[in-house]
């Protein structure tokens, strides 16, 4: 008896295909990537984060404060104790910092600081 053998086709190794995005697919992917930022921006605007910091109000009247010249070695604390000896220096420092829009508590010699009128009268 004779056996007939047929050559079996050898399966070609599976070839990895590259992912190809269409223009529409790229747009959808970009939108999905930007979606968290858009949601955060919308929430910030909805909660009043878009309100302007500056306004057209007239601001503090000119006669509501007087100025003090900072000398070498002065600190906000020492100035507060000098201009308002009968008050808590912490409150006075806070009011001076707010009135002068200071971001920190350091001052430099030669700098002019506005003092609230309620303390300027005592000085």
Which residues have a Cβ under 8 Å from the Cβ of 41 and sit 6 or more positions away? none
The whole-number pLDDT of residue 23 equals: 93
Residue 22's pLDDT is what?
A: 92
- State residue 45's pLDDT score: 80
Q: With a cut of 70, say whether residue 55 has pLDDT above it.
A: no
Residues 74, 107: Cα–Cα separation, whole Å: 8
The model's pLDDT over 66-102, given as tens digits with 9 standing for 90+, comes to 888 999 999 999 999 999 898 999 999 999 898 888 8
pTM reported for the whole predicted model:
0.48
Per the document, the length of the chain is 123
Share of the chain above pLDDT 70, in %: 76
3 has pLDDT over 70: yes
- Would you place residue 25 in the very low, low, confident or very high pLDDT band (cuts 50, 70, 90)? very high
Confidence of residue 116 (pLDDT cuts 50, 70, 90): confident
E strand map for 1-123: 65-69, 112-116
Residue 67 is predicted with a pLDDT of 87
Pairwise CA distance, residues 82 & 76, whole Å: 10
């Amino acid at each position: 008896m004779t056996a007939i053998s047929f050559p079996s086709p050898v399966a070609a190794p599976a070839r990895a295909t590259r992912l190809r995005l269409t223009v529409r697919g790229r747009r959808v992917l970009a939108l999905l990537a930007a979606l968290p930022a858009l949601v955060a921006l919308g929430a910030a605007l909805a909660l009043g984060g878009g309100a302007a910091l500056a306004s057209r109000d007239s601001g503090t009247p000119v006669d509501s404060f007087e100025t003090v010249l900072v000398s070498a070695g002065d600190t906000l604390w020492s100035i507060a104790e000098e201009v308002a000896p009968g008050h808590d220096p912490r409150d006075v420092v806070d009011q001076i910092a707010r009135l002068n829009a200071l971001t920190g508590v350091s001052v430099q010699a030669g700098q002019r600081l506005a003092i609230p009128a309620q303390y300027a009268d005592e000085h």
